Chain A
Amino acid sequence: MESIKDKVAIIGMGCTKFGENFSQPISSLIIDAVSEAMEDAKVESKDINAAWFGTLMGGITGGVLTEAMQWDNLPVTRVENNCASALEALRNGLFAVACGAYDIVVVVGAEKCKDTGTGSLTFPYGYHPSYGYMQAPAAYAAAALRYFEKYGIDVEEGKRLMAKIAVKNHYNGTLAPKAHFKKAITEETVMKAPIISWPLGLFDCCPTTDGASAAILCRADLASKFRDDYILVKGMGLAVGRRDVYSGRIKDRDDSDYTIWNETVAASKQAYDQAGITDPRDQVTIASVHDCFTITELINYESLGFSPIGKAKEDVESGFFELDGGLPVNTDGGLKAFGHPVGASGLRMVYEIYQQIQGKAGKRQLKNVDLGVAHCQGGNPTGGFQASVAVVGPRD
């Protein structure tokens, strides 16, 4: 198998203001994100060869994108992999460009979560009674209790640990103009918030957000025609679990204790191998990781190889993942503060790393940004994940 490393460049990106965009339909969010990306790349509609559009609930077929952009007869595919839908659009566009089929493609993610009428990823959907109807907050709460149980952390101590992550991400959000929340919070606020699903309180959960994000991709050898500071894709992984990982023999199954996200481990291994990353804690300089709940980010530190297994607590307490830490995570606020329009989040993550590499991240700008990781994780820990990991970095 060949590696995807350095074959495809990102030459333009766009992202709407994330938030409660009640007045904007999905077409309007798509127009804003795609237009910003095309202006950024200095390409026009006529230059686009193909497109991929990721969304969970934003409509079916690629026609959602062509309708918004008034494009005729382009090869457009709508893709869906739950919260990883935007990275799935990126993955599809990326491989199509890498194989030489297209020169320039657009990849887009968009979602109108505020049109569902529910909060905290509790969308109504058809269900099979035998699979239960366990919503994301409850499933992640069950994982939190297992994590605390396994590592001997009492629940109050665990809640404080998760609170530190919420405080970090909310602070980072205050520095990101397009974030859903731009308000710093304290640990006490997090600790005293109403309980959504014990032990997860309101501030342990990401908000319900509308937004869209987009990227323009081209073959790496064409990129310098468009701009000097393009970035390169270094690796791309995807691992889709089974809906029934919670079933099965209990003994000898490490994937059933919910304290490590196995699909994320697998997806990151694929991406790291392609990118030549052997020590992610040391080599990765910035990461946007899935933090639909604070416990999600905590366990992801370990699943992505940033912290040794069972040791994320020490890194949280030492500030390792803060803006001035050894490996800043969710520098724009993450899902927690920037918001989580499900199908748009993956490209929003890449957008943050793109800006950081280009030195355009304003008050939250990091120094010496090199390899960055964007990670999305759809599904939930008691029912199988769709985990996607993209590694990007500056041009040579």
Chain B
Amino acid sequence: MAGIKSFGAYIPLHRIAQKEIGKAWNSGGKGEKATVGPDEDSLTMAVDAAVDCIGNNDRGDIDGLFFASTTSPFMEKQMSATIGVAADLNRNISSMDFSGSLRAGSNALKAAFDSVKSGSNKNVVVTAADCRMGVPGSPAERALGDGAAAIMISDTDVAANIEGIYSISDEIMDNWREVDDQFVHSWEERFIITEGYMRVMIEACSGAMKSFGVEAKDIAKFVSYAPNERVYWQAAGKLGFDYETQVQMPLFSTVGNTGASFGMLQLVACLEEAKAGDKILFASYGSGCDVFLLEVTDKIAEAKGGKGVSTYLESKKMISNYNQYLTFKKLLPDSVERMPPIRPPATISWRDQNSILGFKGSKCNKCGHVQYPVHRICSECFSKDESTEVRLSDLNAKVFSCTVDNLGYGGGASPFWAIADFEEVRARLQIADADLTEVKIGDSLEMTFRKFPSDNDIPVYGWKSRLVR
């Protein structure tokens, strides 16, 4: 039976305390939320989550990569194709982007499940990410956080069987964002909760349980999307789940509502704590509802390998003030006038995509010497065109030397450079999310996919390093 074979997550290191946002708007606030740094967006988070999900699974076995987001950096350009190269997957994967709805994540999961069940695919990674913004000062700004989750749907050795999927579609103007608007808008809350979220959630979950032949008491954990924590608990209560034991502890006050990835992120958190035999009812929301019934198998222990929600949640750094947050979100321009690097031509980005997006070096077939980026001639034995590409993105390195370039262009922060020693190769890499006082020679680095600034703001992507999280 098809189901979830592995799962992973990505939560940005940076968090802002709600009271810091409150200070800027003369109000208070409890809890915190995760926020992208200046070099992160939905694509970068989706890559890190996908890599976390894939873990030690053979990348050659993966034949599908679906990306889900309402905040893709491109209106026109497929991100799943980019993620496929970044995650070093085969060319013959089925790549698809899902967008336009907070249900994009579960839509993609359903599509992956259907594809695997039909035999069209064997192993499909669904990676969902969002970094939506509310108008500064609005309740939405407080509520919306950034993060990604990835789930691999497979037909063998699954950690959780998908027993059934039940969907309804619903037309309502509750939350929306027009093409040229960077902020989420909503109709008034009484309406959108009563006639939107609550009505649809109850209808869909009740219908699903009836259809699946289960009752609330059969469910070990109920996991769902909700626009805020209050209605999350209310919906669970109305469906008959016990708050203390049957409802997944939500991430509203630690990560925030991460849109299309929020339900999946909570599902991943739930799976991290699940045990064989657990039945999980998972529901998403957005112009309707997708409800999944899962049953955890005895493979669950093997599936828990990556950093997941637990590690990424614990590993955090507080943003010192609201202005820094606005700069990270590009809502304030960089205060330092600097010259951005000239964007590399599309031709270079294309022909060297394995080095740039795939973080591949070349290993000499004759002498074993590794070079990064890929070189045609070995610098040790000078053999020509005798090398094999090797992936560096899932290796760790050590800081050989490092410094922050205060004149360099970082698109919102000064670039932090490291000379990084991998076991077999040395590379010049930026260290993301770090301050000079936090890094010393010899520290361990792991790799993270990031956005690089360029002269006309067309995103350029590649790999940086970060202190191990």
Contact = CB atoms under 8 A, between A and B. Distances in A.
Interface in B333-382: 338-342, 344-345, 348-349, 352, 355-356, 361, 369-373, 375, 379-380
A275 interface: no
B369 A249 contact: yes
B426 interface: yes
A70 to B, nearest CB: 34
Contacts of B424: 249
Q: How large is the interface on A (under 10, 10 to 19, 20 to 34, 35 or more residues)?
A: 35 or more
B428 A131 contact: yes
A133 B408 CA distance: 9
Interface string B317-346: 000000000000000000000111110110
Contact of B405 (A128, A130, A197, A249): A197
Nearest to A256: B426
Which of A124, A128, A247: most chain B Cβ within 10 A?
A247
B147 to A, nearest CB: 25
B202 interface: no
B407 interface: yes
B417 A249 contact: no
B460 A122 contact: no
B233 interface: no
Contacts of B235: none
A146 B356 CA distance: 27
A246 B418 CA distance: 11
Interface in B374-403: 375, 379-380, 400-403
A124 B341 contact: yes
Contacts of B430: 132
A301 to B, nearest CB: 20
B415 interface: yes
Interface stretch (A1-9, A87-95, A137-145): A137-145
B216 interface: no
Interface stretch (A42-50, A113-121, A318-326): A113-121
A129 B339 contact: no
A244 B375 contact: yes
Contacts of A134: 405, 408, 415, 417, 428
B380 A247 contact: no
A128 B373 contact: yes
A358 interface: no
Given A118-B407, A134-B417, A248 B344 contact: no
A383 interface: yes
A256 B400 CA distance: 10
B426 A127 contact: no
B358 to A, nearest CB: 10
A142 B419 contact: yes
B402 A145 contact: yes
Contact of A130 (B338, B372, B400, B403): B372
A64 interface: no
Contact of B462 (A116, A120, A129): A129
Which of B352, B373, B407, B429: most chain A Cβ within 10 A?
B407
B342 A124 contact: yes
A13 to B, nearest CB: 33
Interface string B414-448: 01010101001111111000001000010000000
Nearest to B416: A138
Nearest to A194: B406
A198 B339 CA distance: 20
A287 to B, nearest CB: 27
B421 A250 contact: yes
A248 B425 contact: yes
Contacts of A152: none
Contacts of B356: 128-130
Contacts of A138: 403-405, 408, 415, 417
B452 interface: yes
Nearest to B356: A129
A126 B344 contact: yes
B408 A135 contact: yes
A242 interface: yes
B455 interface: yes
Given A124-B341, A196-B406, A132 B371 contact: no
Interface in A361-387: 382-383
Contact of B342 (A118, A127, A145, A250): A127
B348 A128 contact: yes
Which of B352, B355, B401, B408: most chain A Cβ within 10 A?
B401
B341 A127 contact: yes
Given A125-B342, A132-B417, A246 B405 contact: no
Given A132-B428, A247-B427, A250-B421, A127 B402 contact: no
A198 B369 contact: no
Contact of A146 (B380, B401, B455): B401
B236 to A, nearest CB: 46
A99 interface: no
Interface string A240-257: 001010111110000010
Given A122-B339, A142-B417, A137 B405 contact: yes
A39 interface: no
Contacts of A126: 341-342, 344-345
A262 to B, nearest CB: 13
A141 B417 CA distance: 10
A338 to B, nearest CB: 21
A141 B428 CA distance: 13
Interface in A195-250: 195-200, 242, 244, 246-250
A314 interface: no
B339 A124 contact: yes
A261 interface: no
Given A142-B401, A248-B425, A249-B370, A128 B352 contact: yes
Contacts of B408: 122, 133-135, 138, 197
Contacts of B419: 142, 246, 258, 382
Contacts of B345: 126
B394 to A, nearest CB: 17
Interface string B154-179: 00000000000000000000000000
Contacts of A247: 361, 370-372, 379, 425-427
Contacts of B348: 128
A188 interface: no
List of 7 A-B pairs having minimum Cβ-Cβ separation, nearest first: A138-B405, A141-B403, A130-B373, A124-B339, A142-B401, A132-B428, A126-B342
15 contacts: A118-B339, A119-B407, A122-B338, A124-B339, A130-B373, A138-B408, A138-B415, A149-B441, A197-B403, A197-B407, A246-B428, A247-B361, A247-B370, A248-B371, A250-B425
Interface of A: 116-120, 122-135, 137-139, 141-143, 145-146, 149, 194-200, 242, 244, 246-250, 256, 258, 382-383
Given A132-B429, A244-B371, A247-B372, 5 more contacts: A125-B342, A130-B352, A133-B341, A197-B408, A248-B371
Interface of B: 338-342, 344-345, 348-349, 352, 355-356, 361, 369-373, 375, 379-380, 400-409, 415, 417, 419, 421, 424-430, 436, 441, 452, 455, 460, 462
